[in-house]
Amino acid sequence: MSARRTIRPVHTVAELREQVKSWRAAEERIALVPTMGALHSGHVALMEAARAHAERVVLSIFVNPTQFAPTEDLSRYPRTLEADLDKADAAGVHLAFVPDVGEMYPEGFATTISLAGPALGLETEFRPTHFAGVATVVAKLLIQAAPDVALFGEKDYQQLQVITRLARDIDLPVRIVGVPTVREPDGLALSSRNVYLGKEDRAAAPVLHRALSAATAQIAGGGNVLDAIDDARRAVIAAGFQLDYLEARHAASLAPVLSRAEGPIRLLVAARIGATRLIDNLAVPD
């Protein structure tokens, strides 16, 4: 532990609620930044944005097992708690909630959240249980921390729309805020999973952003949506990716769109290179 670290980590819901209660008594606004740890500059941007929305910032660090399928990388997911706490402290976070699995899912836990709307399609086609796990843990965190605002990165754009709809549909008194994706200089979206990329795969990875950028420019310039999507798919596959999806969707509902007349458009992609699965997205300019 850093000798100069001032952030306070807590491990139980009771401790979290006790601290939140004292802040509420002082009429301070509270922001929550939910994470699975392995923090990078994208997470730091979330924490810094949170400070602009509230007097107090809570960071949660919990590798949520219910959003991983049996074939996915739960055991390999990077865990860097001490470095994470140092980054959170430097970003001005006031409290880190670091529960274990037993605290979040005590013996006999038997509840999940049923989803539709923006949770249908895209990621669900390849990870059918993923958003049920995300929605359940996020709902728990929002209830436990009772924040005024919660911040999520736009890199996980479908997740952001699912959580926005979740909070609205079950009347949680919290505002969900999306924070723009943070990228490497070559355009690769920051992700905790980028550490899995080998040298050759890392060199190819920015093709995702380049393909999306070309497609958004093509559509914004009056090009046909389906033609732009086909061109982007070919570019991604030619770079050595195994493509899960590259789609044009309505920016809010995530319903498929065929033309700009159908509303604001978001392009979303998921693809595998080597052993690593990457996702990204871009808005089509108005």
Sign of CA dihedral 36, 103, 173, 253: positive
According to DSSP, residue 32 is labeled E
CATH 3.40.50.620 at 8-179, yes or no: yes
40 marked as binding residue: yes
Phi, psi of 222, rounded to the nearest 5 degrees: 100, 5
The Cα 98–Cα 216 span in angstroms is: 39
39 marked as binding residue: yes
193 marked as binding residue: yes
pLDDT, tens digit, for every residue of 249-268? 999 999 999 999 999 999 99
The Cα 206–Cα 83 span in angstroms is: 27
CATH class, 192-283 region: alpha beta
pLDDT, tens digit, for every residue of 167-211? 999 999 999 999 999 999 999 999 988 999 999 999 999 999 999
The neighbouring-strand residues paired with 248 are 267
Q: Where are the domains of the chain?
A: 8-179, 192-283
Q: Which of 11, 43, 94, 209 is catalytic?
A: 43
120 marked as binding residue: no
Please answer whether residues 269 and 246 qualify as being in contact, where contact means their C-beta atoms are separated by less than 8 angstroms.
yes
The Cα 249–Cα 268 span in angstroms is: 8
Q: Which range has the worst mean pLDDT, 70-84, 167-181, 238-252?
A: 70-84
Q: Tell me the pTM.
A: 0.95
43 marked as binding residue: yes
Q: Reduced to 3 states, what is the DSSP secondary structure of residue 151?
A: strand
Q: Does residue 94 carry a catalytic annotation?
A: no
CA–CA distance from 167 to each of 173, 174, 176, 256 (Å)? 8, 7, 8, 23
Average pLDDT, stretch 98-118?
96
